[in-house]
Structure 1
Amino acid sequence: MDAVERLPSTQGPAPGEKQYASLALVNTEFALPGGLYDGLSDADAAHEWLRERGLIAARTRVGADGIRRLLVLRDTLRVIFTAHDAGERPTEDALGRLNRTLATAPGVRELTWTEEGPALTLHHRAGAAIDVALALLAEEAAELLTGPDGAKLSACGARGCTRLFIRAHASRRWCSDRCGNRVRAARHYAGHGRAVTRQAP
């Protein structure tokens, strides 16, 4: 099978994707043993992804340049998240791209009072819908990296899978039960093969 064939994703969301849209963005493209999955393979898919996460209004259409910038941010975050997981410093180019995205839609913090008490809310100044969406994703990614979940950001340990996830516990090594089952099955068959070899005359 061609390594760049587009495959339907049957993995389901990786741990952490529901809390972090930036992580979900990175995982819209990943490799599996059978090929590459791209959940943002066209403009309609990208619009749907942004709408499902409340990053653009239902009737908003983002131009081709905005979609291109979303894909650039996806690639940038993968570089930074992967470097962080490996305990390495990301490239200056990737850091520069992320910081430029953060500056695209500057915001102001506003103190409000809720039933629970005071709350500090970030409001973005007026700008293009895609500017605000990308800035929100970049801000969330920065918060993930610098917060307590940053230490739990991990690459899937299953061979051939390139998804990232947040470990719920230290022993978790796979982004999904499917990947875990695949690794366990491979170990079982490898062990069975060695046993057969030892028994052969």
Structure 2
Amino acid sequence: MERWPALELASTIRHDGDGGVADDLATIEDATRWIREREGLLPPHIRAADLAVDEELRQALIELRRAVRALFARAVSPAPPSPADAQRLMPAEEALARLNTSAARELIAPQLEWPRDGTPATRLLTARHDPHTALVAALARAAVDFLSGPQREQLRACTAPRCVRYFVKSHGRQEWCKASCGNRARAARHYRRRRAAPEGGSAPS
């Protein structure tokens, strides 16, 4: 299954499995773990293992996440956004400005490398490589690519009880982000039907 950095960032707000919402960027240690587990999704000039996360970087990631989730909510409209966003959405214009500003924090230029006996490859050239700036800018550019690409049309907010994830719909009948959410949604639907049924009768179909 394809993984998108922007969707991964948005999914750092998630159902904790116990009726609440967990934040994978809640502490510096959490943010460090999240970044290192996703090194394969980052451009090659960013070495997650060498990146020392501090509070300033953690807050920058959180603010970028707020912008991304606000734009995800706009993308799924007129369907409702994730319930985690419904009461605290950043205005769309502010989210756009924040995303674009973050994407522009690192000025890069693609360079073609083509060894005599090898195959062509792209290397990113940056005027001033600051690992923190590079990470935030790379995630913001990934969000720009995601929201301007065809996958935006398939973006959905999961409607399962307590789920707060966004997901990319991979087939025509998909309603939830994963199978466990589908099971939970069907169980909740069954429970509501049983409660709505008259005593001694059966639930309406």
Fold match (TM-score > 0.5): yes
Q: In structure 2, how many angstroms separate the alpha carbons of the residues matched to 1:42 and 1:92?
A: 28
The worse-fitting range, judged by mean Cα deviation, of 122-131 and 138-147 is: 122-131
1:3 maps to none
% same residue: 33
The separation in 2 between residues aligned to 1:68 and 1:140, in whole angstroms, is 18
The question of whether the paired residues in 2 share the 8 Å contact of 1:108 and 1:122 is answered with: yes
RMSD between aligned alpha carbons? 2.7
- In structure 2, the residue matched to 1:22 is 6
Query: Scaled by the length of structure 1, what TM-score is found?
Result: 0.79
Say whether 1:105 aligns with 2:106: yes
Q: Is the 8 A contact 2:68 2:143 kept in 1?
A: yes
User: What does the per-residue CA deviation read over 1:14-61, in whole Å, with 9 as the maximum and x for residues that have no partner?
Assistant: x75xx2122111111135782221111110110111122225432331
Deviation at 1:166, TM superposition (A): 0.9
39, 46, 50: which one aligns with 2:31: 46
Code of the aligned partner of 1:180: G
Q: How does 1:110-121 map to 2 (within 5 A)?
A: 110-113=111-114, 120=122
Find the counterpart in structure 2 of residue 157 from structure 1: 159
Deviation, 1:120, is 4.9
Matched, 1:57 2:48: yes
Where does the alignment leave 5 or more consecutive residues of structure 1 unmatched?
A: 1-14
Offset at 1:184? 0.7
Q: CA deviation at 1:155?
A: 0.6
**Does the CA-based 8 Å contact 2:112-2:121 persist in structure 1?**
yes
Which of 35, 43, 46 aligns to 2:20? It is 35
Of residues 41-50 and 56-65 in structure 1, the stretch that sits farther from structure 2 once superposed is 56-65
Q: Distance in 2 between matches of 1:84 and 1:75?
A: 14
Q: Is the 8 A contact 2:113 2:123 kept in 1?
A: yes
Bigger shift: residues 59-68 or 187-196? 187-196
Alignment partners' CA distance in 2, 1:76 and 1:56: 24
> What are the Cα deviations for residues 139-184 of structure 1, in whole angstroms up to 9, with x where unaligned?
1111111112111111102133221011111211111111110111
Q: CA deviation at 1:195?
A: 4.0
Give SS of 1:58's match: helix
Aligned equivalent of 1:11: none
Q: Whole-Å Cα distance in 1 between the matches of residues 113 and 130 of structure 2?
A: 25
CA 1:56–1:121: 2 relative to 1, 3 Å = closer
For the Cα contact (< 8 Å) 1:56–1:130, is it kept in 2?
A: no
Distance between the aligned counterparts of 1:111 and 1:125, measured in 2?
16
TM-score, scaled to structure 2: 0.78
- Return the match for 1:70 from 61, 77, 80: 61
